[in-house]
Structure 1
Amino acid sequence: MASADLKDELTCSICLNLYTDPVTLHCGHNFCRECIENVLDTQKGSAAYTCPQCRAEFPERPVLQRNTTLGNIAGHVLSQEEQEEIFCTYCVHTPVVASKTCLWCEASLCDLHLTVHSKSLQHVLIQPTKSFRNSKCSRHKTVLMYYCTEDAECLCVSCCLGDKHRGHQVELLNEASNQKKTKLRTLQDRIIKEKDDTEKRIHDLQDHLRQIPEKAAGIVKRVAVKFKEIRMKVDNLENHVLNEISKQQEQVSLSVSDLIQQLESKKDNLSREISSIEDLCQMSDPFLYIQADRRDFTDVIEDGDQNLKETVAADLAEDLIINTLISGMMDIMSGLQKGYYVQEASGILLDVDTACNDVHISDDLKTASYSKTYLGRLENPERFEYGRVLGSKGFSGIRLYWDVEGSTEGEWRVGMTYQSIERKGEYSRIGNNNKSWGLRGRQNEYSMRHDGNEIKLSFKPSSYKVRIYLDYTAGLLSFYELGNSMKHLYTLSTTFTEALYPVIHVCDKAWMRVLN
């Protein structure tokens, strides 16, 4: 319980209640904001404004400075008082705990006295309290029984009849309170659901976080096995290529050696022929020379020329060796791709028949851009109401990726959707329903949307080039940003039940282009 001296220091000298939103004048005195404003209003047109307590004068209306510390202390004292047990005003012989307080009577009542209490609307019953200042009009000092819905103020009867609230919609305070409580409970239910969804999301993420080391260890193990297989296959390929080189070396060496041997023999024959010719040329007796020179040596020259043309040395077939190496490496990569390779989706084109009339599609069917001009395309059941366009074909049961580039201006969304998505209304936006998953880019930030829920990402856009990766069978849809390095943005996990189509949404100067 606060002491009497402390309560005196916390009491407004105008309303004689504990301060409510206390403010300070230049002279240092404190008042409730509403109390002093009412006093200053009455002093309009006077020669000067004066402090109600010390009569200090101010040539102009003083600026009211909020006294936060004093307000906090008064609020604390008031809360302490309200927590104290309140007894029935009429049970004078034996204290009985009160169950209600009547604002009109300014009395607290136990259950017994409550049964005989007036049921008139003037007698407003509230939870037991000792403080009536918040329940009575500060101007007319009468009970606040009504509520102005337009000004959001509690009113007494006199306030309802005044000029300020004349013609406004006014309700009984209890009815207005019950209506607000109903709305508040509805909001509370939504908040509780949001809290439950958030807790579930946290739980899922915690489970995912705990699974990451195990998944990473599994991937490391599988990659190590693959590397071991690759090394073994590369070693085998290396041995095969080296053996091929050795084999060719041996064959070529034998061939060249044999050719050298043939040429050595020919060289010896030619040397003998040269000696014979030399001997003939040295004969001095013409008669003897003529008798001896009966052989034609031109056939030796012709045979020699022909033999030189045919004796081309064999060489190593390096192109065959390289082809063997490349063929072997391709076989290794082909085996690796069967387990890990993700195909780039080819031929992704935008379907004009689904494009909204504010989305311009380029001639090559790869760029969607926002158009301020209504394009006037013919209506059909597949056409979106605004901002969106589907890809021309869907995908299921496979793994693939496709790349897009978005504008730095405006807002865009990109992702995958079932063809059965709604085509009109707010629910048809990418990520606003349970049939589409999308990455949203706007105002230099990324966020993920699905089923009306939005998750802001900590990554800031750098290149505005995005890769969408789909593993349909595993139920994974991942988004990456493509820049100097590829950054993982987010992965959604679910079970897909229909074929997935690429989808793009552009608005407010935005554009997106398919890069595949």
Structure 2
Amino acid sequence: MAKEFRGGASLKAELSCPICLSLYKNPVLLRCGHSFCNECIQKTLSAQQQSKGTYSCPMCNAQLDPTLELQKNFQLCNIVKVFQPTASEGQQDEGSAEGKEEVVPCDYCLDQSQPAVKTCLSCDASLCQAHLNKHNAKASQQDHILVGVGAGGGAAERRCPEHGKLLECFCQYEEQHICVLCSIAGRHKGHSIVTLKEAHSKQLGTLSIIMARLQEDKNALITALKELQRSENQVKTNTKIATALLQKQFEEMKTAMIQKEKKILSDIESIEKKQLADITEVKKKMEEKRDEAEKHLQSLQKMREEPDLFLFFKEFKVANDRAARRDFSIDTMDVVVQLNKARINQYQQWIQNLMSQLDQYLQRMKNELTNQIRRRRI
């Protein structure tokens, strides 16, 4: 019956939700393979979303998809239904098993034996509370070894397998529990032997030293962790400062470059307007001269066809004098719309130098940030 009960208790543990610790109710299966009550996991995932905004399995912390759909675990659901009718019977068996916990009787009670509360290894007897008080009242039994009932695997484990005596001494040479006969006539003869109390006192001293050393190490680790936390915070702060500084400087550089670009394009546009205005003015004068030359040509052509020689010579002299007084010279303009090649190369070299200096500046800043923290071992 005890085996069957233990098996039932083990099965019940396997069929219990890790969150509510009760039998599964409408169990659902996560992607990681763990199952929970539908209501329990819904509440847990809702709390996770409010606190950290992500979903994870409460058992293994596996990350879950934000859009996960909980799948009902039909097989586990059927197993729970089959197990439930026998669960109440198991609980009753559990109560009866607890009620039948083994009780060790007192070896000194005569009429009605009382349950023992301690076992004296020196007397090899179990004692109830009344006989334990009488036992402790005797001066000769003050050094007897008392243990809890059934503690330490029984009295046999605390006795010398060679002499059958209690292990009341400690061999410091071989660091073993021994009996008195082992120190007198046994293989531990001549060794440094002390009582268990003396060995216990020495071990407590050693234990205190070890604990003090561990406490120092713990305190040092706590201090180091605090320092690392401060360093972590400082790294984040420095990164924010450096990022903000660089972003500001690059924004200023971009603003300045845009302004320079607008200025030089505006200057080029102004130069273009002035040159076009000069060309327009010269063009207008040339067109006027062209039109006047056309008029003279038409007049001379008409005069050429004059049949009256007298009128021909008269008009020819007038036309010749008028043509001699006019200026039909051509005004030319040399316009070269290009930049000096040497000057362009100079500008390009200047830009390359500027970018190189910028790279050096950024590398120095990166090195300064990198060298702020150096890993060292205490």
Sort the TM-score into its range (normalised by shorter chain). 0.3 to 0.5
Work out which structure has the larger RCO, using CA pairs closer than 8 Å and 6 or more positions apart in sequence.
1
* Bigger radius of gyration: 2
Alignment TM-score, normalising by the size of structure 1: 0.31
Q: Which protein is richer in strand relative to its size? A: 1
TM-score scaled by structure 2?
0.40
Q: Which has the higher helix share?
A: 2
